[in-house]
Amino acid sequence: MLYFLFSSGATGITLVALILAYVIAICFSMGAHEYAHARTAFAFGDDTAAMQGRMTLNPLAHVSGLGLVSFILFGFGWAKPVPINPGKFRSYRKGATWVALSGVLTNLALAFIFSALTFFVAPLLWGVDNVFCHFLGYLIEYMFLINLVLAVFNLLPVPPLDGFNLLSIWTKYGNKFVNFMSQYGMFFLILFILPIFGGSSILSLFYSHVGTVFLWFWGLFL
């Protein structure tokens, strides 16, 4: 991903603003995702994350240094997992389901909000000859794209993603597909970041096209 930032044509202070906006968007998007897990677990009776200081929107409590670097370099990364104790849920299946869904729904809601800002506000900011305005424009766009990517990516039925957790919750113990993905799911994740499509990865192609539907929706209001 860092390659695409440097190949964007931006130079000097504009390039710095571009990279800074990207890093800030990653931190807050992943932080919001993990906060949602912690807050939902607390609502269903599990205070484990709250006791460890993870029920906060402060991204510093959630960001993994190595995961952040990976996200910057490859467009693929991770945050520190929120500790969950399902044994404390008042209803295991209901609590575990909503905890798994909460991060995805939070990222999806943020993507929807920032897609509107990307469509209506960001072009105005880029039209101003001011680096700070350009930085805000980049930040809005990256908040949209990264939250949308996190929402969809985390629904994949691959461990340790939320989609796999949902599958595990709602299938019988010993399900063959769940067992298979538990053993080999990491290979599927690696496929998403390898440049196997003309120098582009599945994830980078997703970055390029994923926002089209959202922006088309806001275009209906013009």
DSSP output for 35-74: HHHHHHHHHTT--HHHHTT-SSS-GGGTB-HHHHHHHHHH
pLDDT interval class at 5 (50, 70, 90): low
Task: State the pLDDT at residue 141.
Answer: 93
Task: State the pLDDT at residue 107.
Answer: 96
Measured distance CA(106)–CA(83) in Å, rounded: 18
Q: What is the pLDDT of residues 140-163, one digit of tens each?
A: 999 999 999 899 889 888 888 999
Classify residue 6: in a domain, yes or no: no
Classify residue 206: in a domain, yes or no: yes
Measured distance CA(18)–CA(103) in Å, rounded: 26
Q: What is the pLDDT of residues 166-184, one digit of tens each?
A: 988 888 888 888 888 888 7
pLDDT interval class at 61 (50, 70, 90): very high
Classify residue 143: in a domain, yes or no: yes
Classify residue 146: in a domain, yes or no: yes
Confidence (pTM): 0.89
- Residues marked active site are found at 34
Measured distance CA(207)–CA(197) in Å, rounded: 14
Task: State the pLDDT at residue 3.
Answer: 53
Assess whether pLDDT exceeds 80 at residue 201: no
Classify residue 27: in a domain, yes or no: yes
For residues 45 and 95, the answer to whether their CB atoms sit within 8 Å is yes
Q: Which domain holds residue 143?
A: 11-219
Q: Which amino acid is at 146?
A: I
Classify residue 82: in a domain, yes or no: yes
Classify residue 5: in a domain, yes or no: no
Our count of domains for the chain comes to 1
Task: State the pLDDT at residue 9.
Answer: 65
Classify residue 3: in a domain, yes or no: no
